Amino acid sequence: MTGTLPSHAEIVVIGGGIIGCSTAYHLAKEHNADVVLIERGQLTCGSTFHAAGLVGQLRSSASITRLLKYSVELYDTLEAETGLATGWKRNGGLRLANNQERWTEIRRQATTARSFGLEMHLLTPAEAGALWPLMDVSDLVGAAFLPTDGQANPADITQSLAKGARMHGARLVQGVTVTGISVDEGRVTGVITDNGAIACDKVVNCGGQWAREIGAMAGVRVPLQSVKHQYIVSEPVVGVTPGLPTLRDPDRLVYFKEEVGGLVMGGYEPNPISWADDGVPEGFVFSLLDADWDHFEPMMEQALIRVPALATVGVRTMINGPEAFTPDGNFILGEAPEVRNFFVGAGFNAFGIAAAGGAGRALAAWVVDGEQPMDLWGVDIRRFSELHEDRAWVRARTLEAYGKHYTIAWPSEEYESGRRRLVSPLYERLKNNGACFGSKLGWERPNWFAPTSLPPTGVEPRDVYSFGRPNWFDAVGEEHRACRERVALFDQSSFAKFELRGRDAEKALSWICANDVARPAGALVYTQMLNSRGGIECDHTVGRLADDRFYIVTGTGFRTHDFAWIRQSIPNGSDASLVDVTEDWGTLALMGPNARAVLEKVSGDDVSNAGFPFATIREITIAGQRVRALRVTYVGELGWELHMPIEAAGEVYDALKSAGEPFGIADAGYRAIESLRLEKGYRAWGAEITPGDSPFEAGLGWAVKLRIKVPFIGREAAAAVAAAPLRKALACFTVDDPRIVLHGRETILRDGVGVGWLAGGGWGYTVGTNIGYGYVRRDGGVDRAYLESGSYELEVACERVPCRLHFGPLYDPGRKRILS
């Protein structure tokens, strides 16, 4: 053992890889926290010591890109701060396109980079060749260059972070293994090691590919899978210079970087090999796996085509190292939903060196404040569910995600593995009706319906992806029109549903919700739940079933997150218990101008506007089944969300379909919902509204109960935002040219200057235009006059296109249809 194991610490970090060291560094430096880091072997002995060390920054999320940008800023100064070399250099990064589709992706990425304030230049093949003279550019369509990307020596940079952590007071203990976590009443109380126990307030699990097992010690699921990852280091190559940029050639699945005059070359094979399926073997310290040349061969062939000079030199070594990968290719950060004060920072999918600076900093802030410091939904541990306890499922999905590392990331792309996991009782019916399903948190959900009646033989219910208009475009248009003009039925059974029950349910929910939910039984309220910074943590419909009972409905993917948020926010000692009833209830949304006529045919209950007004919840009978009906809409039409005991979903569906036949009822899916809700300007959590956005910035200030004097989480912060000039405001943009396709992240230009980016976008079939929503940002304040006085363009795949800015919904701004 090196270092002394104390009997108490405020925070224990487990794992001395780059993530643990960065977290300890930021906890000590930025929060002055009392930190002990425990490493079972020596620092870097896990995955860190054998990383290749490329540091790229661009991701598809603004926040994650921000973290990676911060890594680079930190690496720029770390050596000077600690006096320990890091091997860091900003030699830039090149990314190649070998075909037109990749070139489109790269042009879209360059726009994303600009949106996020990252320099990325498009190059001709010849320009790329000038930067990397050893490569054959004859098959290139183009390339992109990120001048601020770079590379580091992973072991050195970790030691430098460790030294920095010590300089700021953290204690690092090596040669001690954590063997257990003490938990009392759902909270961490300490850590047990092979050298004694430490009492502590908080634990941070930075255990790399061991993080799953460390999590299990506390009853916390950390869904990751070790996968073998290989690269070679060549003998020196004539022409390789220290300033050579890193090089990624995704179409050939390989990457390169300079190393002592030679080249590191590795890649992402489509058929990856998992490792340690039953747990990492004992004593795996500074260890590597046997070189697997046969598996590497196809990548070697590709690399030699790109860099023929590689054939003229020997291979100095091959590294086969395991690394923790996750089912969606993103890392795992944040407080575990199962246990309070147990945090995780793991599963870095072979970009842990690049991510460590920013991820460690964000995690440190999360640990200290108990809330994510910015929108980190893409990496939030609460994006997983019980499904992720299934190791075989996690393995299959993780291997698929690994195999997609360098494939083109198509808009709306779905995973194929681990499918048909959770289905609603309507699955077979919908499939027979031509449904093409997507998957969300294990649920199969109808994305669109292939019209079997179209000549000559109909359309196959299969996604064919494109950056332009995809094969489902027309079919979704038909569903959209059915909803606007007639009536459509959406199976939304995968909605997460909770009940809050107890004497104090109203009081607790009033404290947690930003809108006024203390209404009589039968009321239905749209509300946000805010964090202490006034950002939107959850976005819900809350129906009051009885004095002591509320029904809460939220999106499929937010089940774990929202449940954890609500449960943790219930004041101590309250008589209010939260129950997840998702699988008890099937959900059918009946939406469209004919919705009432259809409902009247199947129900004897009064569903008139007076008898069943908007924003109410009632029990009605359909086909002999008791149904919770919510008069609400996410598509902007008259309609009801019908929640029935899940076993009755088939009967209710059949009754509605047959009653709806004379009214032109149609099945419709999630892609139609997306188009419909964009026309109405309904916000989607995780897209236009996130924990980093205030309701006032999002145009949802009307749903915040500042006018009534009751305390609620985030009230002070929300009031402060409302009282000051807004630093950003959500705005709607349209582009009429149908040849343009908006996918999100396009740059918003005001008078030629970048002021934000689109959070999401799509086609509005009724309004006949592209629609995008994004925040316009300005430190001096964004008000209506400022918005109105600008002229706007969007940058789409590096091209500027004119657009129009709108206030209010594009469709039915007077809400006549939903209130009819």
Q: Which residues contribute to the site for ligand FAD (CB under 6 A)?
A: 14-20, 38-41, 45-48, 50-54, 177-178, 206-210, 214, 229, 231, 319, 321, 323, 346, 348, 350-354
Minimal distance, residue 192 CB to ligand FAD, in Å: 10
| Of residues 40 and 596, the one with the C-beta less far from ligand FAD | 40
Minimal distance, residue 193 CB to ligand FAD, in Å: 7
Minimal distance, residue 135 CB to ligand FAD, in Å: 19
| Of residues 13 and 422, the one with the C-beta less far from ligand FAD | 13
Among 408, 798, 335, CA closest to 569: 335
Pseudo-torsion of CA 779, 785, 789, 793, nearest 10°?
60
CB 231 within 8 A of CB 289: no
Minimal distance, residue 145 CB to ligand FAD, in Å: 18
Residue 355: which H helix or E strand, with range? Answer: helix 352-369
Minimal distance, residue 321 CB to ligand FAD, in Å: 3
Alpha carbon distance 148, 415 (integer Å): 32
Minimal distance, residue 154 CB to ligand FAD, in Å: 6
Among 435, 447, 820, CA closest to 636: 820
Query: What SS3 class is residue 428?
Result: helix
| Of residues 221 and 533, the one with the C-beta less far from ligand FAD | 221
CB 695 within 8 A of CB 703: yes
Strands 617-622 and 549-554, by their bridges, are unpaired
Minimal distance, residue 319 CB to ligand FAD, in Å: 5
294 Ramachandran zone, left/alpha/beta (phi>0; psi -120 to 50): alpha
Minimal distance, residue 45 CB to ligand FAD, in Å: 5
Minimal distance, residue 347 CB to ligand FAD, in Å: 8
CB 745 within 8 A of CB 111: yes
Residue 734 makes CB contacts below 8 A (sequence gap 6+) with 764, 767, 769, 770, 771, 772, 803, 804, 806, 810
Alpha carbon distance 84, 157 (integer Å): 8
Minimal distance, residue 21 CB to ligand FAD, in Å: 7
Minimal distance, residue 70 CB to ligand FAD, in Å: 14
CB 312 within 8 A of CB 236: no
| Of residues 48 and 766, the one with the C-beta less far from ligand FAD | 48
Alpha carbon distance 638, 797 (integer Å): 38
Minimal distance, residue 38 CB to ligand FAD, in Å: 5
Strands 577-580 and 496-501, by their bridges, are antiparallel
| Of residues 284 and 565, the one with the C-beta less far from ligand FAD | 284
Strands 332-335 and 187-193, by their bridges, are unpaired
Alpha carbon distance 346, 333 (integer Å): 7
Alpha carbon distance 476, 468 (integer Å): 15
| Of residues 217 and 672, the one with the C-beta less far from ligand FAD | 217
| Of residues 257 and 728, the one with the C-beta less far from ligand FAD | 257
Eight-class DSSP state of 326 = -
| Of residues 359 and 758, the one with the C-beta less far from ligand FAD | 359
| Of residues 272 and 639, the one with the C-beta less far from ligand FAD | 272
Minimal distance, residue 782 CB to ligand FAD, in Å: 36
Alpha carbon distance 121, 116 (integer Å): 14
| Of residues 45 and 188, the one with the C-beta less far from ligand FAD | 45
Alpha carbon distance 267, 254 (integer Å): 4
| Of residues 359 and 678, the one with the C-beta less far from ligand FAD | 359
Strands 8-14 and 196-205, by their bridges, are parallel
Minimal distance, residue 179 CB to ligand FAD, in Å: 7
| DSSP codes, 759-811 | EEEEEETTTTEEEEEEEEE-TT---HHHHHH--EEEEETTEEEE-EEESS-SS
| DSSP codes, 143-162 | EEEETT-EE--HHHHHHHHH
Minimal distance, residue 64 CB to ligand FAD, in Å: 13
Query: What SS3 class is residue 225?
Result: strand
Query: What SS3 class is residue 354?
Result: helix
Alpha carbon distance 539, 704 (integer Å): 12
| Of residues 310 and 353, the one with the C-beta less far from ligand FAD | 353
Task: Please classify residue 183 by burial: count the beta carbons closer than 10 Å to its beta carbon, then call 0-12 exposed, 13-18 middle and 19+ buried.
Answer: buried
Minimal distance, residue 222 CB to ligand FAD, in Å: 11
| Of residues 216 and 597, the one with the C-beta less far from ligand FAD | 216
Among 651, 641, 659, CA closest to 594: 659
Pseudo-torsion of CA 780, 783, 785, 791, nearest 10°?
80
| Of residues 175 and 411, the one with the C-beta less far from ligand FAD | 175
Which amino acid is it at 474?
D
| Of residues 358 and 669, the one with the C-beta less far from ligand FAD | 358
| Of residues 14 and 588, the one with the C-beta less far from ligand FAD | 14
Minimal distance, residue 403 CB to ligand FAD, in Å: 16
- The token pair that represents 409 in the structure block: 């990331």
| Of residues 161 and 698, the one with the C-beta less far from ligand FAD | 161
